[in-house]
Structure 1
Amino acid sequence: MTLPENDKRSAHILYSCYHTRSREGEQFIPEHIFSYQIAGTLTMNDGNKEYIFNEGDFRFCKRNHLVKFNKQPPESGDFKSISVYLDQETLRNVSLEYGYKAEKHQEGDTILPLKPAPLYESYMNSLMPYDQLRQPANENLQSLKLREAILILLQTNPELKTVLFDFSEPGKIDLEGFMNKNFHFNVELKRFAYLTGRSLATFKRDFEKIFHSSPSRWLLQKRLQEAHYLIKEKGKAPSDVYLDLGFEDLSHFSFAFKKMYGSSPSRV
């Protein structure tokens, strides 16, 4: 993931600060994330459910999922949040040291709102001197802070053990159902392949057997069809739909739309 200039990240700690509304589109969550909303509002959507987090809220995002998000600063202020990425290596080490194991794989919600707790607040406050944590010499300190985050989560939410210490990778799932649900996420094909439990080559082969089209061509047509429906039937403006449907910019969307339907989206 490429971070905007407003985001500062060490190896495992990300601090976000925005002066204006930021609609960033999609993000693949490669690792579990423990986050605190310092100021402003964050809206997240995993394709099934929308989550809204305001100032003072804590959240836990599960790895290996796709999400869309909007960052809204408060009036006369900045959007601020801090996130801790819990990598698999650290979790495996904690699992071995303390004997934690996941009983079984559980799906459940992608994002878990966490009830406020004194331990959460004191922990996040300890991360505020962010510039100090960015120094390479403090890698050992960062390692300790990661382990502290894991132990705090387990202390306040013991049921998270099943999530944190589930080291299984995505299994092979129904490709047709997955793509029809997630076509609007603008991620690389290798991400779709991974999340459906396939190598990229197998994903492409299975995809063409099911859809009789290449993934790239099908994704473009599917997104344009959905855009046409939203604009014509639902009265949506082109500027309100192109990002939601996986297009990176309005000009590319308009060009592809006109090529497919013979007129620009604004004329539909």
Structure 2
Amino acid sequence: MEFVTKYITPDIKLSEFEGKYFKTEVLFEHHMLVWFISGETKIILADATYVFGAGDIFLIPRHQLATVINYPKDGKPHKTAVMHFTKEMLRDFYSRHKTAGSVTPLQKVYLFKKHPLLESCFASLIPYFDLTENLPTDIAAIKIEEAISILRSTDKDVDGLLANFEEPGKIDLTDFMERHYMFNMTMEKFSYLTGRSVATFRRDFKRSFRTTPQKWLTEKRLQLAHYLIAEKQVKPTDVYLEAGFENLSHFSYAFKNHFGYPPNHLK
């Protein structure tokens, strides 16, 4: 497996992966604008699953828990160019530009399929990745501002996402965990996203579910895996990637220990 990442700046990068697949559980710290050059990606969020391929351009909101599975395809590596929109750069942008409509956090993935202006913006960056010296900061800022301006002209609702700078507040823990249990995240990240300290998260969790987070998460993920195999005919070798387990051997052991038979018994 080979993963190569080139940076123009910390906020603009080109990633290339060659191998069978690469899977990770992530919490997006910044909004990410992604241009797909080749390969395929499956992104699993709490309420939707997306599959992206060559030519797709999409914007993923920050503070999203996601399972990301990257694949090469058609003999070509998984290759993407990515821009990170940090809160600092967006605050600066919106200090100089008036927002359109109400500023409400629209938590969705924005897809701009084969958009010519965005493609041109990203394509113009490719030569910079081969520079031996760093790209001047002002040029990088211009390219990111160009991308934001194109997004705003393409989707009038995007300001509702980009111009919102609120941090997660204390939210209903039961509802959040029921929608996000399949993401293999640390207690620290689950705590942060529900607006709690780790100690408060554990205390509120036990009050709500009458058990520990670790036991509850394992059981919920095993139930999801059982459903996907038995009802959706998903292969066990694919299920563990989507059900929040770190590897196939750990999943198989936990499954047999819980149900009394291995996952391939259902097939």
Task: String of CA shifts for 1:189-239, please: whole Å, max 9, x gaps.
Answer: 222222222222221111110011121221112212333344455554432
Query: Aligned equivalents of 2:131 and 2:173: distance in 1?
Result: 42
Q: Is 1:94–1:147's contact at 8 Å kept on the other side of the alignment?
A: yes
Q: Is 1:94–1:100's contact at 8 Å kept on the other side of the alignment?
A: no
User: Unaligned regions of 5+ residues in structure 1, if any?
Assistant: none
Q: Is 2:55–2:113's contact at 8 Å kept on the other side of the alignment?
A: no
How far the C-alpha of 1:111 sits from its partner, in A, is: 0.6
Q: Does 2:3 align with 1:5? A: yes
Equivalent residues, number: 264
Q: Does 2:162 align with 1:164? A: yes
Query: Aligned equivalents of 1:220 and 1:116: distance in 2?
Result: 40
Q: 1:92 to 1:72 in 2, by over 3 A?
A: same
Aligned to 1:243, the other structure's residue is in SS state helix
Superposition map of 1:21-100 within 5 A = 21-100=20-99
Q: Is 2:184–2:244's contact at 8 Å kept on the other side of the alignment?
A: yes
Superposition map of 1:205-224 within 5 A = 205-224=203-222
Aligned to 1:129, the other structure's residue is in SS state helix
Q: Does 2:91 align with 1:119? A: no
Q: 1:133 to 1:143 in 2, by over 3 A?
A: farther
How far the C-alpha of 1:245 sits from its partner, in A, is: 0.9
Q: 1:114 to 1:19 in 2, by over 3 A?
A: same
Aligned to 2:42, the other structure's residue is in SS state strand
Taking only aligned residues, the RMSD between alpha carbons, in angstroms, comes to: 2.6
User: Unaligned regions of 5+ residues in structure 2, if any?
Assistant: none
**What TM-score does the superposition give when structure 1 sets the normalisation length?**
0.85
Q: 1:134 to 1:21 in 2, by over 3 A?
A: farther
How many percent of aligned residue pairs carry the same amino acid? 36
Query: Aligned equivalents of 2:24 and 2:32: distance in 1?
Result: 18
Q: Identify which range, 71-80 or 162-171, moves more after superposition.
A: 71-80
Query: Aligned equivalents of 2:259 and 2:115: distance in 1?
Result: 54
- In structure 2, what is the equivalent of residue 152 of structure 1? 150
**What TM-score does the superposition give when structure 2 sets the normalisation length?**
0.86
Query: Aligned equivalents of 2:41 and 2:209: distance in 1?
Result: 36
